[in-house]
C-alpha cells in the first residue's frame, strides 16, 4: 500500500502523485489529510482502491473508469461526474449534482445528498450506473434521467422530519428507474413520472444492489428490506413529443 | 376540416407529357410527396419542402417546384410565415421548429465591409508563384518566449509550449453530432478534415467507432447532455470542447427528436431507443465562471494537460465580458457562434430573435481581450454565418484565429438549406437516420466535393492576402486597418473598430 500525505499539497500535484501510483500498478493507495483537493480520481482507470481520509473537494471521480474510491468522511459536489465505471463509497453526506451524466459504476453514500442528484444518468442494456443514498435527497432528484438506477433509503427518518425526497423528483425523466424507501408524495414528483409498487423482479434487483451497499457500510440488509419501496419510472418515453409544431 | 389551413409553402408539379413514369421521384423523396396512382404519379404538395432531390433525379426534367402562388394576401406587416405559424400553432398548440440558420432579413455586416488592396505604394504578391502561408495554430500562446543554449551551443526554446491544434488552413468544421447528421455525413467530414489537415468537431453525440481512425483531426465535445463522454472519448481527439451554447439557440438546450434515435444512436448516447435526446439548457455543474473553471480543469486533469480545452458560447449581449471570464477560467480556445449559425433543430422563436451577429461579437471580444492583455491566452474561433471565403477573411481581419463552417460543408453534400433537418426525413441522407436515405451519401464521393470547396476557399484566401501585400494569414489576423465599412453608422463602425470607406 502506498500512503500519500495530502496536507497542504496543491490538487494538481496530489493528483499527479495518485496517477503515478496507479500507473505503477499500486493496488492500494491511502490519501491522508485530504482537505478539499479537487478532482481526486478524475479520469483514472485501472483497478486500484484509493482510500481518502479527510474531505475531498469537488469533481471527485469525474470521468473515472474502474478504480474504487472510499471516502471516510463527507464529500462535496459533482461526485462521479460522467463516471464510466468503478465505485465510490462515501461514509458521510455528499453535496449537489452527484452522478451528472453517469454512464456506469456505483456511487454509495451513507448519508444525505443535495440537489439534482443523478441528473441525466445514462444506461444502455446491461451497462447501468447505480447511485444509492442512505439518507434524504434535495430537489430535482433524478432530473432528465435517461437510464440507470437511483435508490434513496431514508434510513435515519426518525431524526429528520423532512420528506425523503425534495420537490420535482424525476422531472424530465425519460429512462431508468428510481426506488424510494417509504411513501412518496405525488405532489413532489415531476409531471413526467409514474409511481408504482415494485414487482418481484424489482425487489430482486433492489436486494442485489442493497446487499452490496450494506456490505460497504456494515448495515443489515433484512432491516432495510423490511421497509416498503415506491418505484418511479417515466410515464412516457417522449415526455415532450407534443411540444413542437412540425 | 380535411386538410390543414396552413397553406403549403411549395407546389410540386410534374409535366405529364414529359413524365416517363420511372417512379424515381417516388423513390427519392424522403417526405413521401409522391405516390403511384396506378397510371400516374400522385402529388401531396403539403409535404414538399423544396429540397430539390426529385428535380435532380428526374431523368426527363419533368418536375418543377414553385413557391406557392396561393400565398396569403400580401401585407407588409403580416408576412406569410407570421400567418402560417399562427395557423400551425392553432392546429397543434406547439412551438414551430426550424432547422439551419435564421432566414430573417437582419443586416449582415460582412456585406458592409470591404477589404483593402495594394496599389503603387506597396507591392501586392502573386500567390500562385510565391509562398503564401495559411497554417494556423489554435491554443494558448505564451506571453513571452525564453531561450537557452542547447548542448550543441545553439539556442533552443526554453518556454514550454501549451498544447496546440495545427491547421493547414484557418478553417474547421463546426460541431454537428452523430444523431443530428448521419454517420455517413460525419464520415464525409472526417475524411475531408484528414485530407485537408484541418479538424472536425463531433458535436454532442459521442464518437462512433467508424470515426475513431480520424482521431488526429477531431475535436470532441462535452455538452450538457454528456452524450458519449467517457475517458477514452476525452482522449480520442486533439482537443476537448465544452459546449455552453449555440448561436441558433442561445440559452436553450438541445432536443434531438425520437424520430432520429434508432438503435445505433441510442447505443452511442446510452439512452432508450425512440426517446427524445434531451440536452439540458444549462450544464448543471456550471452556474458561474468559477464553475466553468472547475469543468475545464476536470477535463485537463482527465487528459493529463495534453489537450487544449475550447469553450463554445453563443454570441449574446455581454459576450465580451463572458469571453474574458472564459479565458480567465483557463480555456485555450474561445469558440463564438453568431446568431445566424445553423442548427439541426431549434424553435423558430429562439433562432430568429435571440443572440447577436458574429461580426459585432467577434470585434467586441477581440477588442476586450486585447485591452485586458490576455488575447494571447486563447485563440478565437468565429462561427455562425460564414458563407464564403470573403466572410472568412473579414472575420479573420476582425480578430478570429479561424472560422468554423457547417452549412457550407453540408451544401457540398447536396443540402439546399431547406431548413427541415429536425424532421429526420432529409432526402439527401444528411440530417436523417433512415437507412434507406443515409445510404445515398457515399462518404468517399462527397468528401472529394468538400475537399474541393476548402481548396477553393484556400486559393481565394491566398488571392486576398496577395492583394493585401502580405504572405501569411497571421498578417491579416486582427488587422482591422485593412477593413472599411460601407454605409454603416458611426456607432457600428466604432464597435467593429473599422473606418468608413473613403477615410
Reported as a single tens digit per residue, the pLDDT across A193-217 is: 999 999 999 999 999 999 999 999 9
Confidence at residue B7, expressed as pLDDT on a 0 to 100 scale: 86
Question: Which residue, chain included where needed, has cell 429512462?
Answer: A175
Cα distance between residue B233 and residue B252, in whole Å: 25
Q: Is position B3 within any domain?
A: no
Confidence at residue B80, expressed as pLDDT on a 0 to 100 scale: 87
Compute the nearest-CA separation of A105 from chain B (Å): 12
Cβ atoms of B385 and B403 closer than 8 Å: no
User: Tens of pLDDT along chain B (503 residues)?
Assistant: 457 888 899 999 999 999 999 999 999 999 999 999 999 999 999 999 999 999 999 999 999 999 998 888 889 999 888 898 899 899 999 999 999 999 999 999 999 999 999 999 999 999 999 999 999 999 999 999 999 998 999 999 999 999 999 999 999 999 999 999 999 999 999 999 999 999 999 999 899 999 999 999 999 999 999 999 998 999 999 999 999 999 999 999 888 888 888 988 988 888 888 888 888 989 999 999 999 999 999 999 999 999 999 999 999 999 999 999 999 999 999 999 999 999 999 999 999 999 999 999 999 999 999 999 999 999 999 999 999 999 999 999 999 999 999 999 999 999 999 999 999 999 999 999 999 999 999 999 999 999 999 999 999 999 999 999 999 999 999 999 999 999 999 999 999 999 999 99
The DSSP annotation for B142-159 comes to -SS--EEE-TTSSEEE-S
Confidence at residue B367, expressed as pLDDT on a 0 to 100 scale: 98
Integer CA distances (angstroms), B178 to B15, B132, B192, in order: 39, 36, 16
Grid cell of B363 as nine digits? 470585434
Cα distance between residue A157 and residue B46, in whole Å: 60
Cβ atoms of B204 and B222 closer than 8 Å: yes
Confidence at residue B2, expressed as pLDDT on a 0 to 100 scale: 58
The DSSP annotation for A127-172 comes to B--EEEESS-B-SSTTTT-EEEEEEE--TTGGG--S-SB-TTBTTT
Chain B residues closer than 8 Å to A101 by CB:
225-227, 229
Which residues of chain A from 3 to 22 reach within 8 Å of chain B, CB to CB?
Answer: 12, 15, 19
Compute the nearest-CA separation of B372 from chain A (Å): 27
Integer CA distances (angstroms), B289 to B24, B208, B295, B300, B328, in order: 55, 31, 10, 16, 9
Which residues of chain A from 176 to 235 reach within 8 Å of chain B, CB to CB?
Answer: none
Q: Which residue of A has its CA nearest to B423?
A: A246
Cα distance between residue B326 and residue B308, in whole Å: 13
Cβ atoms of A44 and A24 closer than 8 Å: no
Q: Is position B68 within any domain?
A: yes
Residue B466 sits in a domain whose CATH number is 3.20.20.70
Cβ atoms of B468 and B115 closer than 8 Å: yes
**Residue bearing the bigger pLDDT, A132 or A159:** A132
Structural domains in chain A plus CATH codes: 93-234 (2.160.20.60)
Q: Which of B55, B79, B94 is the last residue of a domain?
A: B94
Same domain (yes/no): B271, B408: yes
Residue B32 sits in a domain whose CATH number is 3.30.70.20
Find which of A16, A17, A18, A43 to mutate to test the B interface (most B CBs within 10 Å of its CB): A43
Same domain (yes/no): B86, B212: no
Q: Is position B257 within any domain?
A: yes
Going by C-beta distance under 8 Å and a sequence separation of 6 or more, which residues neighbour residue B431? Answer: B99, B180, B181, B182, B185, B344, B410, B421, B422, B424
Half-sphere exposure of residue B333: CA atoms within 13 angstroms, side-chain side:
31
Chain A residues closer than 8 Å to B297 by CB:
38-39
DSSP state at residue B439: T
Asked whether the ipTM of the predicted complex exceeds the cut of 0.95, the reply is no
Same domain (yes/no): B81, B215: no
* Closest residue by Cα to residue B118 from B501, B466, B397, B485: B466
Cα distance between residue A64 and residue A105, in whole Å: 9
Where would I find the H helices in chain A? 11-23, 200-217, 221-226
H/E segment holding residue A45: none
Confidence at residue A192, expressed as pLDDT on a 0 to 100 scale: 86
Cα distance between residue A106 and residue B403, in whole Å: 42
Q: Is position B208 within any domain?
A: yes
Number of domains comprising chain B: 2
Average pLDDT on A170-190 reads 93
Find which of B226, B264, B424 to mutate to test the A interface (most A CBs within 10 Å of its CB): B226
Q: Which domain holds residue B28?
A: 10-94
Tell me the sheet residues that pair with B137.
B166
Same domain (yes/no): B85, B183: no
Grid cell of B17 as nine digits? 407529357
Which residues of chain B from 72 to 131 reach within 8 Å of chain A, CB to CB?
Answer: 85, 88-89, 91-97
Of A45, A62, A174, the CB nearest to B278: A174
Q: Which residue of B has its CA nearest to A95?
A: B285
Q: Is position B162 within any domain?
A: no
Which residues of chain A from 65 to 104 reach within 8 Å of chain B, CB to CB?
Answer: 65, 77-78, 81-82, 84, 97, 100-101, 103
Cβ atoms of B114 and B397 closer than 8 Å: no
- DSSP strand pairing (B136-138 vs B165-167): antiparallel
Amino acid at each position: 500500500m502506498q500512503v500519500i500525505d495530502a496536507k497542504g499539497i496543491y490538487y494538481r500535484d496530489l493528483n499527479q502523485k495518485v496517477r503515478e501510483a496507479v500507473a505503477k500498478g499500486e493496488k492500494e493507495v491511502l490519501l491522508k489529510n485530504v482537505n478539499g483537493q479537487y478532482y481526486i480520481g478524475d479520469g483514472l482507470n485501472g483497478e486500484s482502491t484509493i482510500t481518502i481520509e479527510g474531505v475531498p473537494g469537488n469533481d471527485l471521480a469525474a470521468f473515472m473508469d474502474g478504480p474504487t474510491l472510499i471516502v471516510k468522511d463527507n464529500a462535496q459536489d459533482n461526485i462521479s461526474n460522467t463516471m464510466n465505471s468503478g465505485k465510490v463509497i462515501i461514509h458521510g453526506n455528499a453535496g449537489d449534482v452527484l452522478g451528472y451524466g453517469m454512464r456506469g459504476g456505483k456511487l454509495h453514500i451513507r448519508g444525505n445528498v443535495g440537489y439534482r442528484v443523478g441528473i441525466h444518468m445514462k444506461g444502455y442494456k446491461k451497462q447501468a450506473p447505480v447511485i444509492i443514498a442512505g439518507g434524504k435527497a434535495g430537489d430535482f432528484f433524478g432530473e432528465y434521467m435517461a437510464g440507470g438506477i437511483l435508490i434513496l433509503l431514508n434510513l435515519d427518518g426518525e431524526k429528520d422530519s423532512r420528506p425523503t425526497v425534495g420537490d420535482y423528483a424525476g422531472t424530465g425523466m425519460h429512462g431508468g428507474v428510481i426506488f424510494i424507501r417509504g411513501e412518496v408524495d405525488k405532489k413532489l414528483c415531476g409531471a413526467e413520472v409514474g409511481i408504482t409498487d415494485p414487482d418481484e423482479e424489482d425487489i430482486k434487483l433492489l436486494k442485489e444492489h442493497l446487499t452490496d451497499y450494506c456490505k460497504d457500510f456494515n448495515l443489515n440488509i433484512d432491516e432495510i428490506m423490511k421497509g416498503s419501496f415506491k418505484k418511479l419510472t417515466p410515464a412516457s418515453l417522449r415526455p415532450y413529443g407534443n411540444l413542437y409544431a412540425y | 376540416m380535411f386538410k390543414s389551413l396552413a397553406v403549403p409553402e411549395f407546389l410540386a408539379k410534374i409535366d405529364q407529357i414529359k413524365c416517363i413514369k420511372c417512379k424515381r421521384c417516388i423513390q427519392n423523396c424522403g417526405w413521401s410527396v409522391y405516390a403511384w396512382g396506378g397510371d400516374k404519379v400522385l402529388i401531396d404538395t403539403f409535404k414538399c419542402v423544396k429540397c430539390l432531390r426529385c428535380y435532380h433525379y428526374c431523368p426527363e426534367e419533368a418536375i418543377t417546384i414553385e413557391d406557392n402562388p396561393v400565398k396569403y394576401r400580401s401585407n407588409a406587416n403580416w408576412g406569410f410565415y407570421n400567418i402560417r405559424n399562427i395557423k400551425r400553432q392553432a392546429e397543434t398548440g406547439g412551438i414551430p421548429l426550424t432547422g439551419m440558420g435564421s432566414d430573417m432579413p437582419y443586416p449582415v455586416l460582412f456585406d458592409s465591409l470591404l477589404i483593402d488592396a495594394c496599389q503603387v505604394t506597396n507591392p501586392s504578391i502573386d500567390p500562385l508563384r510565391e509562398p503564401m502561408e495559411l497554417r494556423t495554430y489554435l491554443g494558448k500562446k505564451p506571453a513571452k518566449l525564453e531561450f537557452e543554449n542547447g548542448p550543441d551551443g545553439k539556442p533552443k526554446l526554453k518556454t514550454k509550449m501549451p498544447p496546440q491544434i495545427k491547421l493547414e488552413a484557418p478553417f474547421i468544421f463546426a460541431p454537428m453530432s452523430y444523431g443530428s447528421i448521419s454517420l455517413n455525413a460525419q464520415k464525409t467530414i472526417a475524411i475531408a478534415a484528414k485530407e485537408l489537415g484541418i479538424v472536425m468537431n463531433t458535436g454532442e453525440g459521442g464518437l462512433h467507432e467508424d470515426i475513431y481512425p480520424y482521431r488526429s483531426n477531431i475535436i470532441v465535445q462535452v455538452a450538457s447532455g454528456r452524450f458519449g463522454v467517457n475517458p477514452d472519448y476525452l482522449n480520442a481527439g486533439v482537443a476537448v470542447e465544452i459546449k455552453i451554447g449555440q448561436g441558433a439557440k442561445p440559452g436553450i438546450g438541445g432536443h434531438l427528436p425520437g424520430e432520429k434515435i434508432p438503435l445505433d444512436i441510442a447505443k452511442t448516447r446510452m439512452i432508450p431507443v425512440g426517446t427524445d435526446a434531451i440536452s439540458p439548457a444549462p450544464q448543471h455543474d456550471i452556474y458561474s465562471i468559477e464553475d466553468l473553471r472547475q469543468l475545464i480543469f476536470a477535463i485537463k486533469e482527465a487528459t493529463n494537460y495534453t489537450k487544449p480545452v475550447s469553450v463554445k458560447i453563443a454570441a449574446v449581449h455581454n459576450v465580451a465580458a463572458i469571453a474574458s471570464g472564459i479565458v480567465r477560467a483557463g480555456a485555450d480556445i474561445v469558440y463564438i457562434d453568431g446568431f445566424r449559425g445553423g442548427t439541426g433543430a431549434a424553435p423558430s422563436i429562439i433562432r430568429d430573435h435571440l443572440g447577436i451577429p458574429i461580426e459585432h461579437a467577434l470585434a467586441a471580444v477581440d477588442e476586450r481581450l486585447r485591452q485586458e492583455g490576455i488575447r494571447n491566452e486563447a485563440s478565437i474561433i468565429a462561427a455562425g454565418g460564414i458563407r464564403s471565403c470573403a466572410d472568412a477573411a473579414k472575420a479573420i481581419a476582425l480578430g478570429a484565429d479561424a472560422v468554423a463552417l457547417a452549412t457550407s460543408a453540408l451544401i457540398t453534400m447536396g443540402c439546399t438549406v431547406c431548413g427541415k433537418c429536425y424532421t429526420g426525413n432529409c432526402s439527401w441522407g444528411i440530417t436523417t437516420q433512415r437507412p434507406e436515405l443515409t445510404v445515398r451519401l457515399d462518404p468517399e464521393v462527397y468528401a472529394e466535393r468538400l475537399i474541393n470547396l476548402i481548396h477553393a476557399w484556400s486559393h481565394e484566401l491566398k488571392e486576398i492576402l496577395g492583394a493585401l501585400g502580405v504572405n501569411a494569414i497571421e498578417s491579416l489576423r486582427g488587422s482591422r486597418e485593412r477593413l472599411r465599412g460601407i454605409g454603416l453608422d458611426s456607432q457600428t463602425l466604432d464597435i467593429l473598430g473599422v473606418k468608413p470607406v473613403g477615410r
